[in-house]
Amino acid sequence: MQKVKKKEPTALETLKDLISRNREFDIIDLFSDMHPADIADLIDELEEEDRLHLFSLLDVDKASDVILELSDTSREQLIEDLSNEKLTDIIEEMDSDDKADIIAELSDDQAKAVLEAIEPEESQEVQELLKYADDTAGGIMQSELVSVRKDATINDAFQAVADAKDEIENIHNIFVVDETDKLIGTVPLQSIITTKRFTPILDIIDEDIPSVLHDMDQEEVARLFKKYDLVSIGVVDNQQRLLGRITIDDVVDAIQEETSEDIYRIAGLGEDDTVFNNTTESVKKRLPWLYLNLITALASVLVIGFFEETIKLMVALVFFMPVVAGLGGNAGSQTLTLIVRGMALGEITFENAKRALFRQIAVGIANGIAVGIVIGIIAYFWKGIPILGLILGLAMIISIFTGTLVGALIPLALKRLKLDPALGSHIFLTAFTDAFGFLTFLGLATIFLKIFHL
């Protein structure tokens, strides 16, 4: 990576220099040798006013690759500024899945204009794809694929690949269908190369390779790719008719997207938040979560309010309140994170969840006792109040145990309710562990202080 890292800033500096000197031909020359993904990285780094200018220097073919690789922010801005004609030319160069994705990002007027301007056949194809939900197999599939009938020979398969040469990239498999277009199986290119030319394709077909229904969640699709080490998969309708294919590059994007979503939800963030959003957007996205946090935090205010008298009796209790709540929260967040991630990876299902839950209960008890004893002793020696050590130790055991248990239960319950398990975010977990921690700690203190008439 040293190579790339040292080169990129230089390319950016060169580019900025060329822009300042208005050397358009040199810029075109610089771009001509570069990969679209690298050009996109450069354009992303420029000031907003330079982006459209630079982008307009690209020929249509390259522009169509580059626009797909831009960051969401720069792409949105470019799309707003481009004329409908230019946009149509660029979109016509794309694969069907990318066409659909971009058109979905357009304003209603732009989308209508583009769909009317591109070829009718393509327009219909895209409108078919746009029917599928974003995060399903249909939403990430493309219509471009190579298929042959089941009575074809290897030679026919060769011919089919040759025919598709200019139209379709990334051919890894050939799909085999029957006369009603039902998917029967797939043949990797590797097998075609190593088989005699007039062998029937049915002789080398792999019928075990799974296909997916168009409405399968993209997370499930990703799991299948990972489980069976696939590079592409056929997408079928309810009659097993072949609709399109999903390639691994789109699956990798889907994995990253789903993972970010999980991580962001755990932390209480909107899914499309980034640190480069402008301030108003970021505030709009994060403030609702903070207000939610504020409401849940008021539970703690209420709980502590009950114990005003106890606190007045022993102010030293206040010093340790955050310790009880904080450790309960962190123990819970350890478990919650493990369960949410395990579910995302498909390792935790309802079948084995009970085993997971029992283990978490045991871990909660053990960790609770281990931390409780230590903090009890610390508090005793530090403040010289034996009863404080006892109360704190006991409260800590209960708090860590409960935190661990609730950290496991929240995502399992959400999943059972068919909600996203990651929604059981830190905000809800810590609201609970805070309020419950204070209740246990101050409650125990009230009882003990009464018993010992302090």
N residues, the chain: 454
* Beta carbon of residue 253, minimum distance to a second copy (angstroms, whole number): 7
Among 100, 102, 325, 414, binds a second copy (CB under 8 A): 325
| Interaction between residue 249 and a second copy (CB under 8 A) | yes
Rounded Cα distance, 394 and 444, in Å: 8
Give the 3-state secondary structure of residue 57: coil
Indicate which single residue of 84, 123, 155, 334 sits in contact with a second copy (rule: CB under 8 A). 334
Residue closer to a second copy, measured from CB, 119 or 229: 229
**Contacts to a second copy from residues 229-248, by CB under 8 A:** 229, 231, 248
Give the shortest CB-378-to-a second copy separation in angstroms. Answer: 8
Per CB under 8 A, does 205 bind a second copy?
no
Q: What track of x and - describes contact with a second copy for positions 140 through 179 (by CB under 8 A)?
A: ------------------x--xx--x---xxxx-------
**Which of residues 186, 218, 360, 399 is near a second copy by CB under 8 A?**
360
* 99/67 Cα distance (integer angstroms): 11
Query: 115 vs 154, which CB is nearer to a second copy?
Result: 154
DSSP code per residue over 275-313: TTS-HHHHHHHHHHHHHHHHHHHHHHHHHHHHTHHHHHH
- Token readout for 312 is 């007045």
Nearer to a second copy, 107 or 352 (CB): 352
Restricting to residues 371-410, name those near a second copy by CB under 8 A: 371, 374-375, 378, 382, 400, 408
Question: Contacts with a second copy in 8-47 (CB under 8 A)?
Answer: 9, 12, 35, 37, 45
Asked if residue 442 lies in contact with residue 316, where contact means CB atoms within 8 angstroms, the answer is no
Q: List, edge to edge, every strand of the sheet that includes 183-188.
A: 147-149, 173-177, 183-188
Rounded Cα gap, residues 52 and 60, in angstroms: 14
Stretch binding a second copy (CB under 8 A), from 20-28, 88-96, 116-124, 333-341:
333-341
Backbone region of residue 357 per phi and psi (left: phi > 0; alpha: psi in -120 to 50; beta: other values): alpha
106 versus 139: smaller Cβ distance to a second copy? 139
The residue within the footprint of a second copy, chosen from 235, 323, 406, 439 (CB under 8 A), is 323
* Alpha-carbon dihedral angle through residues 364, 367, 370, 371, given to the nearest 10 degrees: -100
Distance separating alpha carbons of residues 333 and 350, to the nearest angstrom: 20
The secondary structure of residue 83, as a DSSP letter, is: -
Instruction: Give phi and psi for 246, each to the nearest 5.
Output: -115, 130
Q: Kindly tell me which of 200 and 346 has the beta carbon lying closer to a second copy.
A: 346
Residue 174 φ then ψ, to 5°: -110, 135
Whole-angstrom CA distances from 410 to 56, 271, 300, 337, 432 are 51, 20, 19, 11, 11
What residues pair up with 182 in beta bridges, in sequence order?
Answer: 241
C-beta separation of 95 from 144 below 8 A = yes
Number of residues that bind a second copy (CB under 8 A): 124
Contact window for a second copy (CB under 8 A) among 17-25, 49-57, 102-110, 266-274: 266-274
Gap between the Cα atoms of 425 and 407, Å rounded: 9
- Asked whether position 366 contacts a second copy by CB under 8 A, the answer is yes
Which residues, 39 to 98, sit near a second copy by CB under 8 A?
A: 45, 69, 71
Q: What are phi and psi of 206, to 5 degrees?
A: -105, 105
Complex with a second copy: residue 56 or 210, whichever CB lies closer: 210
Q: Which stretch binds a second copy (CB under 8 A): 88-96, 126-134, 254-262, 446-454?
A: 254-262
* Shortest CB 60 distance to a second copy, Å: 20
Determine the Cα–Cα distance for residues 396 and 404; give it in Å rounded to an integer: 12
Which residue matches tokens 């056929």?
Answer: 234
Interactions with a second copy, residue window 96-135 (CB under 8 A) = none
Considering only residues 274 through 313, tell me which ones interact with a second copy, judged by CB under 8 A.
274-279, 282-283, 286-287, 289-291, 293-294, 297-298, 300-301, 304-305, 308, 311-312
Confirm or reject binding of residue 454 to a second copy (CB under 8 A): no
Residue from 24, 26, 178, 220 touching a second copy (CB under 8 A): that is: 220
| 181: amino acid identity, one letter | D
Min separation Cβ 283 and a second copy, Å:
5
Shortest distance (Å) from residue 387 CB to a second copy: 17
Closest separation between CB of residue 297 and a second copy, Å?
4
* Strand residues in 57-133 grouped as ranges (E): none
| C-beta closer to a second copy: residue 83 or 370 | 370
